[in-house]
Structure 1
Amino acid sequence: MLRSCARLYLKCKLNSSLSVRNAFSQNSSIQRIRSKLSKTQEGSSANEYWFVTNRGQYIKFGILSATVLIYPFYCYLLDGPFIDSSFKSRYKVTEEFPDHLEQIITEEYNRFLEKEEILPKDAPVKFTLQETTESLDTIARGSVGARTGGRIALPFYARFETKEEAYEYCKMHLEPFMFLNNPVCVIWDSPVGQEIISTLVLTPKAKRFLIARDLYANDSAMNVIARGYHWGLWSLFASVSTLVIGRMAKSVRYSFGRFMIVYTLCNIVAFFGSREMFNSYRYLNDHHGDFESARRSMQHCEGGKEYYTKMLKRNRLLTSIHGKSGLTTPIGDVIGLDTPIFGRYDSLRDAVAEEEEIAPAVQGDDF
C-alpha cells in the first residue's frame, strides 16, 4: 500500500516537473519571439522616423536653404561680375558696328548721361549687334545703373542703312529665315520678300528711339538681381509654408517622402509666382523705356511709332508665309510676349498725337 502510494506520488511529481519545464520552454520561446519582434519594430521605427533626428533636420534645412539661395546667387554672378563672358557665351553677337550706327549710339549715350547728370563710370554699358534672328528685338542683360554694367544686343537689322544692304544680307544669311524658332522660306525677290526687307530698314530716328529706349529700360540697378530676387522671395515663402505644414501634420514631419511632396508642390507655386512677378517687373521697365525715349523729342516719338509699326507688319508677313497658326495675333503681336508690341505702339501713337498738338504752339513761341 505504501509502495503504491509512493509510486503514485513520484509519478505526479514527475508529471508536474515536466509540465513546468514545458511551460518554461514555451515562455522562453515566446520571449525570444517578442524580443525579435521588438527589435524589428525598433528598426522599422528608426528607419521611418530618422527625419526627426538631428541629421534629418540638417538635411531638411539644407534643402530649403539651397532652394532659396543658390539660384539668386547664380543669377547675380551671370548678370553681375561675369556678365561679359556669360553674355557672349549665351548669345551670338558682334562688337563691330557700321559708322553711322556707332555715331548714333555715341550721341544717344552722351545725351543720356547729360540728361541724367551722371558720369560714364556710373553708367557703364556695352552695345553689340546680334548675328542671328533668334530675337527680332533687343536682348539686354545686366544694368546700366550698376558698376558691373549692362550688355545690350541690338537686333541684327539695326546695321542696315539701305534696302540694297538688307537685300544682300538676307540673300546671304537668311535662307531660311528663322522666325520664332520656325524656319520660313522667303523668296526675297518677290513682292512679299521686298516688303519684309523694307521692314528691316530703320530710319535714323527709329534707331535713335531704339537706343534711347534700351538705355532707359535697363537703367535700374535692380536688373542685376531681379530674376534671383523674385525667385528668392517666392521660394522663401514656399519654404516657410513647407515648415508650417510639417508642424501641423505629423505625417509630413516624420516622413522624408511626404516632406518632399509638400516641398515640390510649394515650389511649383513659387516658380509660377516668381515668373509672373518678374514679367510684371519687365513690363513696367519696358514701358518706362518707351516713355522716357519718346519724351526726348518729336523725332524719337515718330521713330518709336515707325519701329513698332514695322515690327508688327513683319510679323504678319512672316506668319502668312509660314502658315502656322498660334505664333502671332492677326495684328502681328507675338502670342505669349511679356510686353505686347501693339500696346507699346498704341502708347507711342498717343504720345505722337500729343506732340503734334504741342509742336505748333512751341514753334510759334518766339518771345
Structure 2
Amino acid sequence: MASGWLRVSALMQRYRSPLLISTCSGLFGLNLVQHLVPDQTFCSLYQAWSKGEPVQLSQKLEALFQQDYGVVSPQKFSPFASFGFHPVGAGLPLLPSGVRVGIPANFNSSEEDTTGITDRTIFINGRAVDWSSATGSALRHALLLSEHAQKFALAREVARLDGYLPVMSAAVAPVCVGGVWVYSVLLKQLFRLHSGPVVFRAAVNALSLCLGAVSYLLCSDAVGQFVDYSSDRRAAAVSPHYANGGVEFYDKILSRNRTLRSLMGQKGEEMYAPNGNLFPANLLQLKHVPYTARRDGIRAMISQEKA
C-alpha cells in the first residue's frame, strides 16, 4: 500500500506541471460550459414551459428586447421565454452561438393587466399564495415592474455578458487551484522542507489547501461584487430613465424579499434580513452584494449627473 502511494506521489511530482495545467484548464472550461453552448445547456435549463410546450415570447417582450441597451453588436443577443421573475442570460458575444437572454413572464404585466403574475401558482411552505390576500397583494406589487425598471433589468444582464464578465468569474477557481501549488512550493522553500520528513511536507500541503480555500472564498466575493457593481453602472449609464428604473428595480426586490420573509416563516427569517437583503452565506463569504448598496450606488450616480 505504501509503495503504491509512493509511486503515485512520484508520478504526480514528475508530471506536476502538465497535471496542474490540465486541471486548471478543465475547471475553467467546466465553469464556462453554459456560456460556450448556451442553447444546449442554459436555455434547456431555464426555458419556460406551458402544457408540455416551450413558451414563446409575446410581441410586447420581443419589442422590449429591441431597445437600446448600449452594446456594440446587438445582433449577437437573442431572447427566449424563461421561468422565474428576473432576466437571466448566458453566452459570449465573440462566439458563433452568441448570447441568449431569458425574459420572465411577469415582464408582460402592467398595472392594468397582471397576467404573468396572478395567473401563476406559487407555492410557499406547501401552500399556494392567495393573490387576493394582503401578503399576496404585496408580493404582486413587488413583482410588477415599470417599463423603465424592466429595461434596466435587461440592460444589467446584457452588460454583464457583453463585458465578458462571466470569463472573469470562471477564472477564480482555476487561479486559486494554481495558488495552492504556489503556496505549497513557497512554504516548502521557506522552511526548507523539499527533502524534509513526509509528515512536515503533508502538513504544508494541508496548510496550502486551507489557504487556497480561503483565497477562493475571498476572491469569488471580490469578483462577484465587481461584476454586480460594474453591470449596474453600465446599465444605469445608458440613460437617466434606466437609472431611475434601476432604483425602482432594487426597491421592488427588497419589497419582494420582505414579503417572502413574512410568508416563509422561520426559513424566511434565516434567509432574508428585515430590510430585504440576503443574509451572508457564511462568515467568510458574502455571496451577494446587498441590494440596498446596489440601489444606493445608482442613486449616487443620479445625484452626480444632476450636480
TM-score, scaled to structure 2:
0.78
Q: Which one has the bigger helix percentage? A: 1
Please point out which of 59, 75, 81 is paired with 1:129. 81
Q: 1:187 to 1:254 in 2, by over 3 A?
A: same
State whether structure 2 residue 35 is matched by structure 1 residue 75: no
Aligned to 1:333: 277
1:77-99 CA distances to partner (integer Å, 9 max, x unpaired)?
4322x232121344344662222
State whether structure 2 residue 80 is matched by structure 1 residue 96: no
Q: Determine the C-alpha separation between the residues in 1 that align with 2:91 and 2:99.
A: 4
Q: Determine the C-alpha separation between the residues in 1 that align with 2:139 and 2:174.
A: 43
Q: Determine the C-alpha separation between the residues in 2 that align with 1:251 and 1:185.
A: 65
1:94-139 CA distances to partner (integer Å, 9 max, x unpaired)?
6622221211111235xx24xxxx3445xx22323332x4xx4333
Please point out which of 150, 153, 156 is paired with 1:210. 153
Please point out which of 216, 232, 238 is paired with 1:274. 216
Q: 1:346 to 1:62 in 2, by over 3 A?
A: same
Q: Determine the C-alpha separation between the residues in 2 that align with 1:352 and 1:48.
A: 62
Aligned to 1:317: 259
Q: 1:169 to 1:271 in 2, by over 3 A?
A: farther
Q: Determine the C-alpha separation between the residues in 1 that align with 2:130 and 2:246.
A: 28
Give SS of 1:127's match: strand
1:202-243 CA distances to partner (integer Å, 9 max, x unpaired)?
1212112222222223222352x3233222222112113224
Q: How does 1:285-300 map to 2 (within 5 A)?
A: 285-300=227-242
Q: How does 1:69-218 map to 2 (within 5 A)?
A: 69-80=25-36, 82-93=37-48, 96-109=56-69, 112-113=70-71, 118-120=72-74, 124-131=76-83, 133=84, 136-144=85-93, 148-161=97-110, 162-166=112-116, 168-170=118-120, 173-174=121-122, 176-177=123-124, 185-218=128-161
TM-score, scaled to structure 1:
0.67
Q: Determine the C-alpha separation between the residues in 2 that align with 1:126 and 1:253.
A: 59
Matched AA of 2:133 = S
Work out the percentage of aligned pairs sharing the same amino acid. 19
Query: Deviation of residue 319 (structure 1)?
Result: 0.6
Give SS of 2:220's match: helix
- What RMSD over aligned residues (CA atoms) do the two structures have, in Å? 3.4
Q: Determine the C-alpha separation between the residues in 2 that align with 1:108 and 1:253.
A: 64
Greater Rg by CA? 1
Question: Which residues of structure 2 form unaligned runs of 5+?
Answer: 49-53, 281-286
Aligned length: 291
Query: Deviation of residue 313 (structure 1)?
Result: 0.9
Question: Which residues of structure 1 form unaligned runs of 5+?
Answer: 1-43, 359-367
Give SS of 2:142's match: helix
Query: Deviation of residue 315 (structure 1)?
Result: 0.9
Q: 1:56 to 1:68 in 2, by over 3 A?
A: closer
Aligned to 1:350: 300
